[in-house]
């Protein structure tokens, strides 16, 4: 399949947000990291200078010569994730200030709070005792890239621990994980074993993406690759039977497709589509059923990408900034927003993987 959604999305994003700092919801947070890594994936195929300059401008504007990072606090996993873009720009340029900035983020993990078994909490002070699937993506996106760029194999050991713990804490059935875990069941949404009650599409999408990213980034031979490959295969098999036949997408509450008022979410669906396509490209999975799921998923993503009267791409059918919810109704009634920050990025990732079939 070859379309122009990836380039159209990037053109739209740069038109709307001439600087990445302007991308919602605030400067230096996970949406910038998600966006810029997506752009870097496209750049790997096109070598488009506009993309490179957009990423570099963000990094230059935040990192001082001594490595201090404007806007970085290390207060949450969301804050850590943006550092993935710094690792990438360091790998491209070799500039020492970016190396120093990366080291500052790495050191922020040293005293970061954990569950008693070692799982990183989602935030230092808010959400006490809570580990979210979102946070595994946010933290390990930086950590694994740092491990590669700075020859720190202990980063991969940590990634394995985080994958094993989030699976133990949040696995529901058939490879599907609920949104979060609350140690000692302190959160209002926590069940008897500390798990939240529902498999949220975008939360499960973060999990799908980090499994895929670990397989793309971590060097051969480390056991975290086997863990990620096993968990990803189980997840994709679970998703195969839950894909909506008509739209090619997956539902907001993934495993309750026939439940009242549930709806197909393009953000999580784009993440799943990316994970299917990359797994096929790496030959982690093979077969017509996986090919069909990836192709139908991308058709569904494309159906939610609409060119408006100004020639820009609008993405429909997602919400944004959704934290762990107390009930099924809260997930399905959460307000949808055109061009939700996560949905736009997810569609970019899916477009790059689907439109550029060669493995990079």
Q: Where are the domains of the chain?
A: 5-355
Are 234 and 174 in contact by the 8 Å Cβ rule? The answer is yes
Q: Is 360 exposed, middle or buried (0-12, 13-18, 19+ CB in 10 A)?
A: exposed
CATH architecture under which domain 5-355 falls: Alpha/alpha barrel (1.50)
Q: What are phi and psi of 319, to 5 degrees?
A: -110, 180
pLDDT at residue 116, rounded to an integer: 98
* pLDDT value for 321: 86
Q: Could you list the pLDDT tens digit for every one of the 360 residues in the chain? A: 446 899 999 999 999 999 999 999 888 999 999 999 999 999 999 999 999 999 999 999 999 999 999 999 999 999 999 999 999 999 999 999 999 999 999 999 999 999 999 999 999 999 999 999 999 999 999 999 999 999 999 999 999 999 999 999 999 999 999 999 999 999 999 998 999 999 999 999 999 999 999 999 999 999 999 999 999 999 999 999 999 999 999 999 999 999 999 999 999 999 999 999 999 999 999 999 999 999 999 999 999 999 999 999 999 999 998 999 999 999 999 999 999 999 999 999 999 999 997 655
- SS3 for 194-212 is CECCCCEHHHHHHHHHHHH
Report d(CA 73, CA 281) in Å as an integer: 37
Task: List the one residue out of 355, 359, 223, 212 whose CA is nearest residue 295.
Answer: 355
State the pLDDT at residue 192.
85
At residue 154, the pLDDT reads 97
């Amino acid at each position: 399949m070859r379309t122009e959604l990836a380039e159209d999305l990037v053109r739209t994003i740069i038109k709307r947000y001439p600087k990445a700092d302007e991308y919602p919801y605030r400067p230096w947070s996970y949406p910038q990291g998600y966006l810029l890594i997506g752009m870097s994936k496209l750049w790997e195929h096109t070598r488009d200078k506009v993309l490179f300059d957009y990423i570099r401008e963000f990094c230059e504007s935040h990192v001082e010569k001594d490595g201090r990072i404007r806007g970085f606090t290390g207060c949450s996993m969301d804050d850590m994730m943006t550092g993935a873009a710094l690792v990438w720009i360091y790998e491209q340029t070799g500039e020492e200030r970016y190396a120093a900035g990366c080291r500052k983020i790495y050191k922020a993990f040293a005293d970061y709070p954990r569950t008693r078994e070692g799982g990183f909490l989602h935030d230092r002070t808010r959400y006490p005792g809570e580990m979210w699937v979102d946070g595994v993506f946010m933290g390990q996106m930086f950590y694994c890239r740092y491990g590669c760029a700075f020859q720190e194999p202990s980063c991969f050991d940590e990634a394995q621990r985080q994958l094993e713990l989030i699976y133990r804490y949040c696995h529901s059935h058939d490879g599907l994980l609920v949104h979060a875990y609350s140690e000692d069941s302190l959160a209002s949404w926590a069940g008897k074993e500390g798990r939240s009650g529902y498999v949220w599409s975008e939360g499960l999408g973060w999990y799908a993406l980090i499994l895929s990213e670990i397989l793309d980034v971590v060097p051969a031979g480390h056991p975290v690759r086997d863990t990620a490959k096993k968990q990803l295969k189980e997840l994709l098999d679970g998703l195969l039977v839950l894909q909506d036949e008509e739209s090619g997408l997956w539902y907001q509450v993934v495993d309750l497709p026939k439940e009242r008022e549930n709806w197909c979410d393009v953000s999580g669906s784009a993440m799943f589509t990316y994970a299917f396509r990359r797994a096929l490209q790496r030959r982690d999975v093979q077969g017509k059923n996986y090919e069909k799921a990836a192709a139908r998923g991308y058709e569904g993503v494309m159906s939610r990408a609409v060119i408006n009267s100004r020639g820009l791409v609008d993405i429909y059918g997602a919400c944004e900034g959704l934290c762990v919810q107390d009930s099924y109704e809260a997930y399905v009634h959460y307000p949808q927003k055109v061009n939700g920050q996560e949905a736009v990025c997810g569609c970019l990732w899916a477009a790059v993987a689907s439109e550029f079939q060669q493995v990079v």
